[in-house]
């Protein structure tokens, strides 16, 4: 039964992800990388040192190379990250609206590129939402991702006279529904392809220094991995964590995915299933780096079978997890409406 007196929504949802270039051209990639890599939460070096390096070398060499990689995964509808994020938002809006028995608007906001976090807030405001749940789609908290979303939210709020009430979800690395969704995607994959010698859990890396300075990301990755292994009833030798997407010369979290995959065949591991639990949505880093590049590394090193497990994307259990996370944040705003 609905007790709503006010026709405006009880609340709105801002789903946040990293963002992606507008098109797979060197020019658009350069624009995207300039914004992304100028964020001090991502690269925390002194701007006096970093900006000349970024503008003098990186932005003159990397965009052409990375644009080619984007072209290899781009779809007719656009960048995989954007296309899948839009589907997630649409499905989540349907499920939330059913839960709360009224239309709950869900908008996307990207940390870098379009649509921006500001644009997402504005769209929610246009739909009458005065209370907003911000859900960064990063299961494990890192200063380089989630804190950067928080910074952008705070920057937006500074620009408005009447700020909305905001709830912010920090992480969900150990949420039962997250582990259940991951476990379901692995068992579904095993049913179709069989089970490999090892399940490799490849998380996006960060500089080791960030962890030494207090970032809980690595610890949260290991908790996720252990909970998933437990749920799948895997023994210690049947799974392993590694970290991908290293950038720059500094030491990042280890073991590095590419190095490990090159070593495993010599240790007698000839087949692997690879899952990327830190990514809520397939993107360049999963579809190119892990699904294509890392596969080549493993097979070249003598591996026989390499199988990539897609991200949770718009899987039913993933949307259910997102719905639960929102409901947990919004329950005190909307308990009279929840059915």
Minimum CB–partner distance for residue 140 and ligand L6N33NVT (Å): 6
Q: 95 or 285: whose CB is closer to ligand L6N33NVT? A: 285
Q: Binding segment for ligand L6N33NVT among 35-43, 158-166, 191-199, 227-235 (CB under 6 A)?
A: 35-43
Q: Which of positions 171-200 make contact with ligand L6N33NVT (CB under 6 A)?
A: none
Q: Which stretch binds ligand L6N33NVT (CB under 6 A): 114-122, 139-147, 161-169, 189-197?
A: 139-147
Q: Which stretch binds Fe ion (CB under 5 A): 157-165, 235-243, 287-295, 298-306?
A: 287-295
List the x/- string, 15-34, binding to ligand L6N33NVT by CB under 6 A. Answer: ---x-x------------x-
The rounded distance, in Å, linking the Cα atoms of 266 and 302 is 8
Binding ligand L6N33NVT (rule: CB under 6 A), the pick from 284, 290, 321, 326 is: 284
What sign does the dihedral 62-64-69-74 (CA atoms) show? positive
**In angstroms, what is the minimal distance from the CB of 245 to ligand L6N33NVT?**
6
Distances (CA, A) of 184 to 87, 141, 181: 20, 23, 5
Nearer to Fe ion, 191 or 249 (CB): 249
Q: What CA–CA distance (Å, rounded) separates 44 from 100? A: 42
Q: Which 40-69 positions form the footprint of ligand L6N33NVT (CB under 6 A)?
A: 42-43, 62, 66
Residues 205 and 244 sit within 8 Å (Cβ to Cβ): yes
Is 291 a residue that touches Fe ion (CB under 5 A)?
no
Geometric angle at alpha carbon 297, from 178 and 258, rounded to 5°: 55
Lateral strand order in the sheet of 239-244: 239-244, 198-204, 271-275, 305-309
Residue 296 labelled as part of a binding site? no
Taking alpha carbons only, the member of 238, 237, 244, 198 closest to residue 221 is 244
Give the phi and the psi of residue 132 in degrees, each rounded to 5: -130, 130
User: Pairing state of beta strands 271-275 and 165-168?
Assistant: unpaired
**Distance in angstroms (rounded) separating the CA atoms of residues 289 and 311:** 14
By C-alpha distance, which of 138, 147, 201, 148 is closest to 171? 138
The single residue listed with the structure tokens 């908790």 is 223
Among 107, 273, 289, 314, binds Fe ion (CB under 5 A): 289
Q: Determine whether the annotation assigns residue 213 to a binding site.
A: no
CB-nearer residue toward ligand L6N33NVT: 107 or 282: 282
Q: Is residue 245 a contact residue for Fe ion (CB under 5 A)?
A: yes
Closest residue by Cα to residue 280 from 308, 313, 309:
313
Interface contacts to ligand L6N33NVT, rule CB under 6 A: 18, 20, 33, 37, 42-43, 62, 66, 79, 81, 138, 142, 144-145, 204, 206, 217, 245, 247, 278-279, 283-285
Annotated binding site for Fe(2+): 204, 285
């Amino acid at each position: 039964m609905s007790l709503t007196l006010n026709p405006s929504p009880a609340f709105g949802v801002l789903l946040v992800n990293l963002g992606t270039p507008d098109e797979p051209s060197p020019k658009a990639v350069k624009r995207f990388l300039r914004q992304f890599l100028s964020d001090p939460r991502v690269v925390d070096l002194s701007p006096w040192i970093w900006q000349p390096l970024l503008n003098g070398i990186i932005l003159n060499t990397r965009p052409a190379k990375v644009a080619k990689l984007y072209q290899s995964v781009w779809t007719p509808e656009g960048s995989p990250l954007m296309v899948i994020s839009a589907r997630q938002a649409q499905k989540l809006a349907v499920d939330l609206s059913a839960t709360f028995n009224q239309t709950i608007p869900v908008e996307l906001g990207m940390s870098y590129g379009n649509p921006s976090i500001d644009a997402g807030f504005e769209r929610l405001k246009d739909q009458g939402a005065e209370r907003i749940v911000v859900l960064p789609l990063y299961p494990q908290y890192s200063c380089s991702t989630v804190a950067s979303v928080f910074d952008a939210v705070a920057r937006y709020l500074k620009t408005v006279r009447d700020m909305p009430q905001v709830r912010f979800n920090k992480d969900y690395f150990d949420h039962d529904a997250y582990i259940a969704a991951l476990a379901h995607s692995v068992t579904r994959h095993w049913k179709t392809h069989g089970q490999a010698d090892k399940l490799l859990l490849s998380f996006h890396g960060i500089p080791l220094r960030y962890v030494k300075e207090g970032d809980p990301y690595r610890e949260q990755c290991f908790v996720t991995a252990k909970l998933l292994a437990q749920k799948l009833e895997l023994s210690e030798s049947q799974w392993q964590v590694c970290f991908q997407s290293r950038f720059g010369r500094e030491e990042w979290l280890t073991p590095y995915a590419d190095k490990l995959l090159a070593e495993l065949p010599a240790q007698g591991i000839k087949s692997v299933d690879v899952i990327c639990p830190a990514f809520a949505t397939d993107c360049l880093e999963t579809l190119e780096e892990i699904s294509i590049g890392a596969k080549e590394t493993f097979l070249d090193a003598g591996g026989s079978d390499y199988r990539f497990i897609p991200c949770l994307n718009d899987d039913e259990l993933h949307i259910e997890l997102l719905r639960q996370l929102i409901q947990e944040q919004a329950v005190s705003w909307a308990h009279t409406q929840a059915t």
